[in-house]
């Protein structure tokens, strides 16, 4: 049971107790017509019960307001956990892509070195063409890597 539920339960108990007191005071008031001091005591208790009712209503409204605030906070925390999980997934995907790019860059370098020592001119041209194609494909990687790093560094909290 949450703290708010405890407060609400206590307020309900006090409500029933105050209702019983009001009923008892009503009975006392009808029989206290002949005893002035008892009548003034009943009137005082009636005023106190009325003040209690007002406070009880304010407390119940505050409990409901706080319950709504807690519900909103819990939803925001759940969204934050989902966002963190998505960031972790995308970071892992980006890192895997970076590893693949590094392997392709290494392969392009190997082919360029092979082209330098190739005896057959056809093989040399083919290796050079393959290495050039790989380098061309990799040319966009630095820009894409910078964009992806920018997303990781963005802590503005914007929701898209």
**All structural domains of the chain with their residue ranges:** 3-153
* Tokens standing for residue 151: 């997303």
Residue 82: phi, psi to the nearest 5?
A: -65, -40
What residues contact 108, with CB distance under 8 A and at least 6 apart?
131, 134, 135, 138
Reduced DSSP (H G I as helix, E B as strand, rest coil) percent helix, strand, coil of the chain, to 5: 90, 0, 10
The label of the residue with tokens 């706080």 reads 66
For residue range 62-112, what is the model confidence (pLDDT) as tens digits? 888 888 888 899 999 999 999 999 999 988 988 888 888 888 888 888 888
How far apart, in whole angstroms, are the C-alpha atoms of residue 119 and residue 29?
A: 119
For residue range 45-70, what is the model confidence (pLDDT) as tens digits? 777 777 877 887 888 888 888 888 88
């Amino acid at each position: 049971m949450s703290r708010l539920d405890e407060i609400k339960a206590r307020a309900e108990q006090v409500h029933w107790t105050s209702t019983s007191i009001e009923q008892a005071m009503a009975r006392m008031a009808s029989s206290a017509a002949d005893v002035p001091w008892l009548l003034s005591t009943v009137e005082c208790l009636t005023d106190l019960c009325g003040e209690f009712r007002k406070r009880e209503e304010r407390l119940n409204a505050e409990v409901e307001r706080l319950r709504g605030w807690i519900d909103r906070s819990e939803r925001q925390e759940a969204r934050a956990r989902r966002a963190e999980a998505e960031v972790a997934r995308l970071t892992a995907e980006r890192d895997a892509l970076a590893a693949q790019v590094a392997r392709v860059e290494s392969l392009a370098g190997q082919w360029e070195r092979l082209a330098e020592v190739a005896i057959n001119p056809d093989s040399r041209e083919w290796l050079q063409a393959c290495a050039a194609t790989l380098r061309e494909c990799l040319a966009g990687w630095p820009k894409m890597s910078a964009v992806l790093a920018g997303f990781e560094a963005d802590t503005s909290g914007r929701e898209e």
